[in-house]
């Protein structure tokens, strides 16, 4: 009974558990879907990104950003992202199921 009450108190005190409000870097990641497909699954030539390992995504984005890896459009977008954003949005995309 006491555990249940404690659980309920936690529920009252934490209205945020009801919603999963994304962080700014996660919101940036949702923009990826516009070219890479719904939830990161592409329907064509642009590669799917859903569930790719975070370290691979991070490295690839940084390579696009500094021009080490050639791209059509990705490098231009990556230039607008800082290291922290790249790290966090890569980690988020890696968790997509």
Binding to other proteins, residues 59-78 (CB under 8 A)? 72-73, 76-77
Which SS3 state, helix, strand or coil, does residue 30 take? Answer: helix
CB of 82 to other proteins, least distance (A): 10
CB 49 within 8 A of CB 40: yes
Centre a 10 Å sphere on the Cβ of residue 56 and count the other Cβ atoms it contains: 12
CA distances from 71 to 31, 34, 37, 75 (A): 18, 17, 18, 6
Binding to other proteins, residues 3-42 (CB under 8 A)? 4-6, 8-9, 11-13, 15-16, 18-24, 27-28, 30-31, 33-38, 42
Footprint of other proteins on this chain (CB under 8 A)? 1, 4-6, 8-9, 11-13, 15-16, 18-24, 27-28, 30-31, 33-38, 42-46, 72-73, 76-77, 79-81, 85
């Amino acid at each position: 009974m006491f555990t249940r009450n404690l659980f309920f108190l936690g529920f009252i005190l934490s209205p945020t558990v009801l919603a999963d409000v994304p962080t700014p870097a996660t919101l940036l990641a949702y923009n990826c879907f516009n070219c890479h497909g719904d939830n990161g699954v592409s329907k064509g030539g642009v590669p799917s990104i859903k569930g790719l390992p975070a370290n691979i995504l991070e490295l690839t984005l940084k390579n696009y950003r500094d021009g080490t890896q050639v791209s059509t459009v990705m490098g231009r977008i990556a230039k607008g992202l800082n290291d922290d954003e790249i790290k966090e949005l890569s980690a988020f995309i890696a968790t997509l199921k």
